[in-house]
Structure 1
Amino acid sequence: MNTIQDYINSGILELYVLGMTTDEENIEITKLAEENIEVKKEIDAISEALQITSEAFSPEISPATKAMVMATIDYTERLKNGEEYTIAPLLSKNSTIDDFEPWLNRYNMQVSDDYETIDAKIISASDEATTLIVWLKHGAPIEVHDKEYEHFLIVEGTCTITIGEESHNLVPGNYLSIPLFIGHNVEVTSDIACKIILQRVAA
């Protein structure tokens, strides 16, 4: 891009606010917004327009998309306001809930009071992985990933994750990895929301 205005006009900031940019682009745009007031103002304007649109046409915007957009905006604001950039550990079968206590116990990483079905807070984003805390009241619809692996660590509540024809009943402390190209969905089976560490790792 030759100028900041070219960058703004490219459409990448709209994709960023919608949560459709790569982890590398997210880091680049976050840094640029911190350094350039024009970029920051444009992101704010897009976010505000998206909020108005989502309120007017909420039936057409899925709860998962809305949660990711709001989580991205929240993460950007936290970094802008001085939060130290950190990288969460990669999830594996040896991961424990204690590995994520520094984030789980933070005052600004708690569930929103007024969320509908899905809420999320981004822990960290890098070229390798994006890590979030996710709250599900009921579940999540079927998805298929072809560019990133998805890993789950259950923190609170219980759920059943079905991968293809195979169902996995999960309780706090359980880990599950989702393979590429296979549909999967989540059904919450507890009376309380299922709180999950969700990590998406580039394939």
Structure 2
Amino acid sequence: MESKEYIESGILELYVYGLLSESENDQVTAMSNKNPEIKAEILSIEKAIINLSSSFSPFISHSQFEKIKSQLELKHSKVVDIKSRGSLTAFIGWAASIVLLIGIGYQYSKINDTNDQIKTIEKQNMQLQQTVVDLDVQNKETEKVLNVVRDETNTIVALAGQTVAPTAKAKIYWNKQTQVVYVDASGLPTPPEGKEYQIWSLKLAPQLTPTSIGMLANFNDNRSKIFAVEKTGDAEAFGITLEPKGGSPTPTMEQLYTLGKV
């Protein structure tokens, strides 16, 4: 290609604007180093562009400006169009990747939130089930207590506090027909560690004869403090002593908490 054709091709304007590829830039640089006319044209274009950026300097002729303008618009539009598509594709790719990452992160966060919610709901369900069980137990205990208290066939024996515990008190609900015995221990203090209350059915004549009819085990766990003990049919009195856990064969009279005659 002759110098004139090369100059009129518009490639030099694109070179000055930095719109050529690396290989094309290298080619123009090589041509300008070999051809003074091309190098002079590059300097002229650079000067014209500088003047153009300074509000169209009067030193640039109208024909030269139009030539530069038309050549730049023609080549610039083609190159920019190609690069725009490339840039747009790259931008869309990056945008899609970012959206994908955001979407994955959002979904991961939602999954974690859902798992946490499931665990919370499961825990709440377990607590609710336990509450239902506890209420059922309480209802049964309450029903048992009411049945004992309302049973008109029961003989109620009040047990008064003794020397070791003057303020202590208890009640015996004794059905003489069925021989079933319930103890209301709500008036007794909580037994110390390693100790339990023992219930005694007493015969007073011809001599005092105590018979153990049970222990008030798990005292703290019994909310109603109503305890079912062993049956008895011939009691003349009832007493409650504090004994080592598991009970004693005979009552410890120094630890007699309550006593009452039938």
Q: Same fold (TM over 0.5)?
A: no
Larger radius of gyration: 2
TM-score (norm 2): 0.23
Q: Which structure has the highest strand share of the two?
A: 1
Q: Which structure has the highest helix share of the two?
A: 2
